[in-house]
Structure 1
Amino acid sequence: MSNLPDVVIWSIPAFALLTVVEIILVRLHPDEEDAGYEAKDAATSVSMGLGSLFFGFLWKFQDVAIYGVVYELTPLRVPLLWWTLPLLLLAQDFLSYWSHRSHHVIRILWACHVVHHSSRKFNLTTALRQPWMTFTVGFFFLPMVAVGVHPAVLAFCNSLNLAYQFWVHTERIDKMPRWFEFVFNTPSHHRVHHASQGSYLDRNYGGVLIIWDRLFGSFVAETERPVYGLTKNIRTYNPLKVASHEYMAIAKDIKLARSWSERVGRVFRDPGWQPQNGTPVPVSAAPVAKEPAK
C-alpha cells in the first residue's frame, strides 16, 4: 500500500503547464470583467501552496498516528481492487463534501479554510492558495479507516480528489456539457463557490461530484457574474497574515467577549454569528452568511 502515489505531487508539472497556458490565454484574449492575473496575488497563492506542502507534511504525522491506531483496532478490511476503488472514491468524495461544508459553517474550521477564499482573483493559481493549518481536516475521513480502508489508500483517494479540483479554478471555461454539469463539479459551479455575494454564499461544496450539493440543498447554478473574495477582504499579500488572519480575529473577539457563552459562539458558531445582546463585533475577515446553507 505504501507505494501508492501522491497524485498532487505528481501533477505539479501539469499544474504549472496549465497555469502558463491560462496566463497566455488571458493576455491574448483579455476579458474586461475577467478576474485575470495580478502578479502579487498570484505570487501569494503560489507561496501559500508551497507552504501547504511543508505544513501538510507535518500534519500527516498526526493523521498517520490517529489513522494507524483506528486501523489496527478495527477488525474490518476493505481490499483495494478494481471494483472497490470507485466505491472508495465515492465515499471519500462524500466525506469531503461534509468536511468542506463544515469548514464553512463553523468558525474555528473556517479559520483554516478562509485562506483558500481570500483571493479576489479567480484563476488556476487560486487553486494553489491552500491553508497551512489543516489539522482539522483529517478527522472527517476517520469513518473510512474505521471500516477497514488502509490509510495509504485513503491518502491516495484524497490526492486524486484534490488534483481534480485544480482545473475548476478558471474563468477560461464557460459551461461544460449539460450531463457533465449535472454530475460533476465544474468551473461554473466552483465560481459560484468562490463568490462573495448574496445567494452565492455557502454553496457548491462538491469536490469531484456536484450531486451531493443537489441532494443536500446547497447547490446554486451560476447566473450573475461572481464577485470573488471575502465579504470583508483582508487586503494583504503577506503569506503569514493570509494563513493566520482569521485565527487572530477569533482571538481578538474572544478577548472582547462579555460572557463564556459568547466566547464559545465566537469559536464554534458560524463565521458571521453575533451575540443577541448587540455586543459590537470587531472587524474580521470572516464572511457574514446572508443566507445559511440548507
Structure 2
Amino acid sequence: MPNLPDVVLWSIPAFVLLTVVELVSYRIHPDEDAAGYETKDAVTSIGMGLGSLVFDFLWKIPIVAVYTAVYELTPLRVPVLWWTVPLMLLAQDFCYYWQHREHHVIRILWACHVVHHSSRKFNLTTALRQPWTSATSWPFYLPMIALGVHPAAIAFCYSVNLVYQFWIHTERIDKLPRPVEYVFNTPSHHRVHHASQGGYLDRNFGGILIIWDRIFGSWVGEEEKPVFGLTKNINTYNPLRVATHEYAAIARDLRAARSWRERAGRVFRGPGWQPAAPAGQPEAKKAPEPAA
C-alpha cells in the first residue's frame, strides 16, 4: 500500500488564507444581502472544527479495527494505481451522497449532522463547524472495504471530499458556468443545501459531484435567496450545546414517549416526525422539522 498524503493537514494553510481573503473581502466590499461574518459565530465554528479533530481521532480507533477486520476477510484487492484512484474517489463520493442523505432523514443520524447546519451564517468558517460524534458515518463505506479497497485509501478519498467542500461554503461566489454547475457541487448548490426554506430543505446532498442529486431526484437550483440555519434555531454559541443539543432533544422525547413504537419513531424516523394521535383524540400539532 503506497503512502497517501494527509490531504487535510496539507490544506490547512489554504483554509486559513482563503478565510482571511473572504473576511477582508467583506470589509472592503460589504454586502448587506449576505449573511457575512459574526465573531462569536466564527469562533464557535472554528472551535467545533478543532474539537472534531480530537474526537475523530478517538472514533477512528474502533472504526479502523472494523475496517481492517472486513478488509482481511475479503479476498478482493483493489491496488492503488493512477487509474484506480479516480474510480475510488468516484465510489467514495457516491457513498458519501447516501451517507449525507440518510443523515438528514434519520433523526439519530441528524443529531450528529445538525451541528454543521446550526450556524445562521454561511462563510468559509461554516465549513469547519463539524460534529464531534461522526462515528455514525463509517457503515456507508463498508461496501468499498468489502470490495477490496484498503481502509487507508478510504480515508484518503474521504479527506479529498472534505477538502473539496471547504470552498463551496461561501456567498462571495455566484453561479459558475453551466457545465460546472451541472456536474460539480458548487457554492450555489451548497447554499441551497444549507438553507432553511421549505423548498430547499433536504436537497443537494452531493460532496464533490452534484450528479447524484440529479440522478436520484434531490437536486434543486438556487432561485430565491437562502435563509441559513435550522427551521428551529438553537440560539447558543456554546460548543458543547451545539454538539449535543439534538441528542438532548431526543432524550426528552424518549422520556415523554408513551410506547416502544413511539420511542423507535423518535430515534429512527425523520427529525420532525410525530406519532399519530390515539383514536378519539385530535392529532397533535406537528413540530417543524429541525432540518436544513
- The TM-score, its normalising length taken from structure 2, stands at 0.96
2:104–2:291 contact (8 Å) kept in structure 1: no
Give the equivalent residue in structure 2 for 1:273: 273
Give the equivalent residue in structure 2 for 1:255: 255
Give the equivalent residue in structure 1 for 2:105: 105
**Partners of 1:172 and 1:32 in 2: how far apart?**
12
Structure 2 unaligned spans of 5+: 278-282
- Cα drift, residue 248 of structure 1: 0.2
Kindly report which structure 2 residues correspond to 1:215-294, keeping only aligned pairs within 5 A, or say none: 215-277=215-277, 278-279=283-284, 287=290
- Cα drift, residue 195 of structure 1: 0.1
- Cα drift, residue 288 of structure 1: 5.8
1:96–1:207 contact (8 Å) kept in structure 2: yes
Q: Are 1:185 and 2:188 counterparts? A: no
- Cα drift, residue 4 of structure 1: 1.4
- Cα drift, residue 59 of structure 1: 0.8
Tell me the amino acid that sits aligned with residue 99 of structure 1. Q
Give the equivalent residue in structure 2 for 1:18: 18
Kindly report which structure 2 residues correspond to 1:129-140, keeping only aligned pairs within 5 A, or say none: 129-140=129-140
Give the equivalent residue in structure 2 for 1:292: none
Deviations 1:65-120, CA, capped at 9 Å, x for gaps = 00000000000000011111111000000000000000000000000000000000
**Partners of 1:45 and 1:203 in 2: how far apart?**
22
Give the equivalent residue in structure 1 for 2:69: 69
- Cα drift, residue 3 of structure 1: 2.7
1:2–1:152 contact (8 Å) kept in structure 2: no
Give the equivalent residue in structure 1 for 2:148: 148
**Partners of 1:206 and 1:14 in 2: how far apart?**
22
The RMSD of aligned alpha carbons is 1.3
Q: Are 1:204 and 2:204 counterparts? A: yes
Tell me the amino acid that sits aligned with residue 179 of structure 1. P
Tell me the amino acid that sits aligned with residue 80 of structure 1. V
Quick check: 5-14 or 196-205, which moved more? 5-14
Structure 1 unaligned spans of 5+: 290-294
Aligned to 1:237, the other structure's residue is in SS state: coil
Aligned to 2:37, the other structure's residue is in SS state: coil
Task: Figure out how many residues of one structure are paired with residues of the other and give that number.
Answer: 287
- Cα drift, residue 139 of structure 1: 1.0
- The TM-score, its normalising length taken from structure 1, stands at 0.95
**Partners of 1:218 and 1:144 in 2: how far apart?**
24
- Cα drift, residue 280 of structure 1: 6.8
Tell me the amino acid that sits aligned with residue 90 of structure 2. L
2:119–2:229 contact (8 Å) kept in structure 1: yes
Aligned to 2:57, the other structure's residue is in SS state: helix
